[in-house]
Structure 1
Amino acid sequence: MSQSNQNFIDQFPKHIRIISMGDSLYHYARVISNTRFGHLPAMIAYCKAASDVQDCLAFCKAHTFPFRIRSGGHQHEGMSSGNGVLIIDLSEMDTIEYLDHDHAWISSGKQLGKVYSALEARGQIIPGGGCQSVNVGGLTQGGGWGPSIRKYGMTCDSVLEFEIVLADGTIAYPSATHLPDLFWALKGGGGGNFGVVTKFKFKLSSLGEVTTSFSLLWTERNEAIKALKIWTVLHADLTALDPALSTACGMMIADPKGANLPEGHLSAVHSRMGGLFYGSKDALLALLKKHFGDLIPEESGFVSLLEKKHHPSNKKNLASQKETFSLSRHQSVVSEFVNPTTPMYNPTVLHDRCGDRNLRVLPDAPASTCDRPHPHKVTSGFPKASTVQEHHALVEAIYEYLGRTCFYSDVSRYMSFHCLGGAVTHHPEQRAFAFPTKPYLLQIQCWWDDAGNAFTNEERNKTYVHWVVDFRKNLLPHIENAFINFVDKSLVPHPETPAGRLDLLEMYYGANFKKLREIKKNYDTDNLFDFEMSIPQDKK
Structure 2
Amino acid sequence: MTSNTGELHVRARTQVQDSVASGRRRFLQTGAAGALGAAALSLAPAAVLARPALKLGPDGLRALARDFDGRLILPGQDGYALAAWPNNARYSGVLPQAVAMCANQRDVQRCIRWAGDSGMPFAIRSGGHNYAGFSTTAGLLIDVKAMNSVTVDLKNETAWVQGGANNNDVAAVLRNYPYAIPSGRCPTVGTSGLVLGGGWGFAATHDGLTCDSLLGTELVLASAEARSIDANSHKELFWAVRGGGGGNFGVHTGFTFKLHKVDKVTTFNLSWAPGKQIELLRALQALQLTYPTMISTRSKALPMAAGARPARDSLYVQTLGQFWGGEKELREMLAPLYAVAVPQTADIYEVDYWRGRDYLLTDDPNGLYDIRCSFVKTALSEAAMDNMLTWMTRWPGGSVLQENMGILFAIGGQVKAVPSNATAYVHRDSNFIFEMEASWGPIDKPETVQRQRAWLKDYYDDMQRFLQPESYVNFPSRDLKNWAQAYYGSNLGQLSDVKRRVDPGNLFRFEQSIPLAPKR
Fold in common (TM above 0.5) = yes
One-letter amino acid matched to 2:375: F
Tell me how far apart the structure 1 counterparts of residues 396 and 303 of structure 2 sit (CA, whole Å): 8
Aligned partner of 1:534 among 499, 506, 513: 513
Structure 2 matches for 1:451-530, cutoff 5 A? 453=442, 458-479=446-467, 480-492=469-481, 503-530=482-509
Aligned partner of 1:62 among 110, 117, 138: 117
Tell me how far apart the structure 2 counterparts of residues 296 and 111 of structure 1 sit (CA, whole Å): 39
Match of 2:319 in 1: 273
Aligned partner of 1:405 among 380, 389, 395: 395
How far the C-alpha of 1:176 sits from its partner, in A, is 1.0
Contact kept in structure 1, 2:179 and 2:261, CA below 8 Å = yes
Tell me how far apart the structure 1 counterparts of residues 327 and 206 of structure 2 sit (CA, whole Å): 17
One-letter amino acid matched to 2:367: H
Match of 1:378 in 2: 371
Aligned partner of 1:419 among 410, 419, 438: 410
Match of 2:3 in 1: none
> Residue 397 and residue 158 in structure 1: after superposition, are their counterparts in 2 closer, same or farther (change >3 A)?
same
Match of 1:331 in 2: 360
Match of 2:36 in 1: none
One-letter amino acid matched to 2:125: R
Aligned partner of 2:297 among 225, 241, 247: 247
What whole-Å deviation, never above 9, does each CA across 1:196-226 have from its counterpart, x for those lacking one? 0111101111112x1111101123221x221
How far the C-alpha of 1:295 sits from its partner, in A, is 4.1
One-letter amino acid matched to 1:93: M
Partner SS for 1:486: coil
Q: How many residues align?
A: 458
How far the C-alpha of 1:88 sits from its partner, in A, is 1.0
Contact kept in structure 1, 2:124 and 2:247, CA below 8 Å = yes
How far the C-alpha of 1:100 sits from its partner, in A, is 2.7
Contact kept in structure 1, 2:296 and 2:321, CA below 8 Å = yes
How far the C-alpha of 1:79 sits from its partner, in A, is 0.6
How far the C-alpha of 1:410 sits from its partner, in A, is 2.5
1:110 maps to 2:165: yes
What whole-Å deviation, never above 9, does each CA across 1:461-502 have from its counterpart, x for those lacking one? 43332222121012121122211011112122xxxxxxxxxx
Contact kept in structure 2, 1:214 and 1:302, CA below 8 Å = no
> Residue 305 and residue 266 in structure 1: after superposition, are their counterparts in 2 closer, same or farther (change >3 A)?
closer
One-letter amino acid matched to 2:474: N
Contact kept in structure 2, 1:93 and 1:107, CA below 8 Å = yes
Tell me how far apart the structure 1 counterparts of residues 306 and 449 of structure 2 sit (CA, whole Å): 24
Contact kept in structure 2, 1:267 and 1:406, CA below 8 Å = no
> Residue 174 and residue 218 in structure 1: after superposition, are their counterparts in 2 closer, same or farther (change >3 A)?
same
Partner SS for 1:376: strand
Q: What's the TM-score once normalised by structure 1's chain length?
A: 0.80
Match of 2:44 in 1: none
What whole-Å deviation, never above 9, does each CA across 1:107-133 have from its counterpart, x for those lacking one? 121120232232122122111012112
Contact kept in structure 1, 2:305 and 2:401, CA below 8 Å = no
1:152 maps to 2:143: no
One-letter amino acid matched to 1:166: L
Unaligned 5+ segments in structure 2 are 1-54
Greater shift, 55-64 or 391-400, is seen at: 391-400
Match of 1:292 in 2: 337
Tell me how far apart the structure 2 counterparts of residues 458 and 255 of structure 1 sit (CA, whole Å): 21
Partner SS for 2:334: helix
One-letter amino acid matched to 1:400: T
One-letter amino acid matched to 1:125: A
Partner SS for 1:484: coil
Aligned partner of 1:15 among 66, 69, 87: 69
Tell me how far apart the structure 2 counterparts of residues 180 and 484 of structure 1 sit (CA, whole Å): 22
How far the C-alpha of 1:393 sits from its partner, in A, is 1.6
What whole-Å deviation, never above 9, does each CA across 1:489-536 have from its counterpart, x for those lacking one? 2122xxxxxxxxxx3211111010011000000100110101111112
What whole-Å deviation, never above 9, does each CA across 1:363-393 have from its counterpart, x for those lacking one? xxxxx4x06x311111100136x6x7x6222
1:430 maps to 2:473: no
> Residue 381 and residue 467 in structure 1: after superposition, are their counterparts in 2 closer, same or farther (change >3 A)?
same
One-letter amino acid matched to 2:483: L
How far the C-alpha of 1:430 sits from its partner, in A, is 2.5
Match of 1:496 in 2: none
How far the C-alpha of 1:6 sits from its partner, in A, is 4.3
Tell me how far apart the structure 2 counterparts of residues 114 and 69 of structure 1 sit (CA, whole Å): 19
One-letter amino acid matched to 2:147: M
Tell me how far apart the structure 1 counterparts of residues 464 and 69 of structure 2 sit (CA, whole Å): 51
Contact kept in structure 1, 2:375 and 2:432, CA below 8 Å = yes
Aligned partner of 1:307 among 350, 355, 362: 350
Contact kept in structure 1, 2:221 and 2:227, CA below 8 Å = yes
Partner SS for 1:247: strand
One-letter amino acid matched to 2:118: H
Tell me how far apart the structure 1 counterparts of residues 203 and 459 of structure 2 sit (CA, whole Å): 29
1:395 maps to 2:385: yes
Structure 2 matches for 1:351-366, cutoff 5 A? none
> Residue 230 and residue 530 in structure 1: after superposition, are their counterparts in 2 closer, same or farther (change >3 A)?
same
Contact kept in structure 1, 2:132 and 2:476, CA below 8 Å = yes
Contact kept in structure 1, 2:397 and 2:452, CA below 8 Å = no
Match of 1:439 in 2: 431
> Residue 124 and residue 489 in structure 1: after superposition, are their counterparts in 2 closer, same or farther (change >3 A)?
same
Structure 2 matches for 1:201-280, cutoff 5 A? 201-208=256-263, 210-222=264-276, 224-235=277-288, 240-255=290-305, 265=311, 268-280=314-326
What whole-Å deviation, never above 9, does each CA across 1:141-164 have from its counterpart, x for those lacking one? 010110001100111111000111
Contact kept in structure 2, 1:105 and 1:200, CA below 8 Å = yes
